[in-house]
Amino acid sequence: MAKTALVVAFTTVLLVSGLTAVAQVDLRTGVKSMHRGSALNVDPRTMMGSASAFDVATYHRGANLFCSQCHTMHASETHAGLASEPGAYPRTYTPQPKLLKAADPVTLCLTCHDNQAGIPDVVGADVNGLNERAAGLFGMADMPNDNGHKIATGIDPNVLCERCHADPNNVRDASGFVTASVSCIDCHNPHGNGRARNLQWASWPGGEYPFGYYVRPGSTGLSRYESSNIGYPAPNGTNFAVEGVEVTNMCIDCHHAIFNNTDIDTTHVKHPVYNSEWAERNTISQGDAGGSTVSSHWISGSGAGFLQTPRVHYVVRGATDFATSTTVAATNGVFCLSCHKAHGSNEPFGLVFHWTPGGEGCDQCHNKSAI
């Protein structure tokens, strides 16, 4: 079967600065995507332009991972194990879908990615002792989590939107929101896809553009996951298949409502967020004239907002390497990762700054604490 998915496009009018967005329907699953186009036929190894320099290290590919570490051909192994695979042999496995060694992808992922030294740890305290993981941390699987995404087992991989919208009786938190769950393979391709951190569009796996992601030169091993070693570019133009898009472009699959400007004018009714695909290139300086932001304070990097929280992440339009993607300027863009960790944090909503005192991180751009 050809790997290219049959996709048809239909138009959904979204109140996003008066912009008409195009949603895609992937006929493999019937899942709707909020993305306009596809980079499915772009080989990241031959890309020209800024995207060709993105961090697309071979995670879960080649010599980094053996098929038998996740799959078992006959549901049992009675031979001596590979030296790279811990545990005693012989083993007996209960047959599972996809020939997996666990009943659920999340369970399988966490056999390596939870509390295993030398492997990126994504749950709770970091066994590897990184100062700050770029993606943050999850809580325990199948447990309520007010501090970020809730990972859970038993999720139907062919269902995305319906996790929140199909059943009005879904469990809700105190504020009334559905406590939807996610699986590791919603956002990451377990076999590798030539994208930064194996990231993918949850609504259209394989259709995603290259994601802008630079790693500090000389970083090796687990240091590549250190937050301070990551820089985030944004495309200069609109040739996203070549220039790439912000890494948070994948967030709009579920969180697209955050971009809606329901007044259809130049005044945002929700916090401006940088998203090139929807022509929302919002910068810190654009609020200076109205007094909502103080870009000179952002550039200074000291005082209110910076006392407890290191400078939050931002995007740099047209950045071509780590150095340029970490250049501080009034034209820096605020994006999802400026305020939230992708996996979660020790703060409510996965915030990157302390929930109390309120606004501690907000002051980096807004400098309102003295008012």
pLDDT score of 342 more than 90: yes
Instruction: Give SS3 for 317.
Output: strand
> Cis link prior to 205 (omega < 30° from 0)?
no
Q: Which of 18-27, 71-80, 138-147, 215-224 has the lowest mean pLDDT?
A: 18-27
pLDDT digits (tens, 9 = 90+) for 197-231: 999 999 889 999 999 999 999 999 999 999 999 99
Residues 6+ apart with CB under 8 A from 34: 21, 23, 203, 252, 253, 256
In b/e form, how buried is each residue of 192-203, taking b as 16+ CB within 10 angstroms?
A: bbbbbbbbbbbb
pLDDT at 97: 84
CA dist 246 → 20, 187, 196 (Å): 20, 15, 11
Q: Give CA–CA dist 347/186, Å, rounded.
A: 23
Q: Give CA–CA dist 19/371, Å, rounded.
A: 36
Calculated CA dihedral for residues 279, 285, 291, 293, nearest 10 degrees: 90
CB 122 within 8 A of CB 137: yes
CB 314 within 8 A of CB 364: no
| Helix or strand run (H / E) with residue 186 | helix 184-187
Q: What is the mean pLDDT of residues 151-175?
A: 71
Q: What is the mean pLDDT of residues 86-112?
A: 78
Beta-carbon count within 10 A of 20 CB: 10
Q: Give CA–CA dist 92/38, Å, rounded.
A: 42
pLDDT score of 277 more than 60: yes
> Per the structure block, which two tokens stand in for 17?
């600065």
> Cis link prior to 357 (omega < 30° from 0)?
yes
Q: What is the mean pLDDT of residues 186-204?
A: 91
Q: Give CA–CA dist 342/148, Å, rounded.
A: 8
Q: Which of 1, 2, 3, 12 is nearest to 207 (CA)?
A: 3
User: In which band, very low, low, confident or very high, does the pLDDT at 84 lie, cut at 50, 70 and 90?
Assistant: low
Q: What is the mean pLDDT of residues 319-340?
A: 97
Q: What's the half-sphere exposure (Cβ side, CA atoms, 13 Å) at 299?
A: 10
pLDDT digits (tens, 9 = 90+) for 41-53: 555 445 556 677 7
> Cis link prior to 97 (omega < 30° from 0)?
no
Strands 76-77 and 91-92: antiparallel
Q: Give CA–CA dist 321/325, Å, rounded.
A: 6
Q: Give CA–CA dist 108/190, Å, rounded.
A: 11
Structure pTM? 0.82
Q: Give CA–CA dist 1/3, Å, rounded.
A: 6
pLDDT score of 87 more than 80: no
Instruction: Give SS3 for 319.
Output: coil
Terminal CA-CA length for the chain: 63
Which ranges in 47-171 belong to alpha helices (H)? 105-113, 162-165
**For the chain, what percent of residues have pLDDT higher than 70?**
74
Q: What is the mean pLDDT of residues 128-152?
A: 94
Beta-carbon count within 10 A of 147 CB: 21
